[in-house]
A = this chain, B = another copy of it.
């Protein structure tokens, strides 16, 4: 966690983005590091956790970080929580909480509240394409499932 805090500090000093640093660790070794670079990289997905997961996966040559823990300076947002799930990470350790962040003016709880609503009640409209496009897209999904060499991620 001290390393994650150092990365957050460096990122803030550089003006890279929010105050979030992150390391992915397995068996006492750092597999990957990241910090928030949303502003510096013009990438809204460049949160510390996402960057650390990407770095760890690149270093390990796999999309699975099973057996690893993620240390992050702030409790992860829903995007990062879901990414942690997709990466099969075992445990999350955070320094400050969502409530801490909200108290100093950085409140991302609206995203979680939105996700908890049914799609049709969310602020961002979610619309179904015409049926013939649904059928065409499903055909590709079925083709993928039928592939004998399909890699399940």
Q: Which residues of A contact B (CB under 8 A)?
A: 1-2, 4-5, 8-9, 12, 15, 17-19, 38-39, 42-45, 50, 53-54, 57-58, 60-65, 71, 73-75, 77-79, 81-97, 100-101, 104-106, 111-112, 114-116, 119, 124-129, 133-134, 136-138, 140-145, 147, 149, 151, 153
In the complex the two chains form, what is the Cα distance from A80 to B39 in whole Å? 19
Q: Contacts A19-B143, A45-B45: A39 and B153 contacting too (C-beta < 8 A)? A: yes
Residues B39 and A97 in contact, CB atoms below 8 Å apart? no
Residues B39 and A141 in contact, CB atoms below 8 Å apart? no
Residues A53 and B42 in contact, CB atoms below 8 Å apart? no
Tell me which residues across on chain B come within 8 A of A86, comparing CB atoms: 38, 44-45, 77, 79, 111
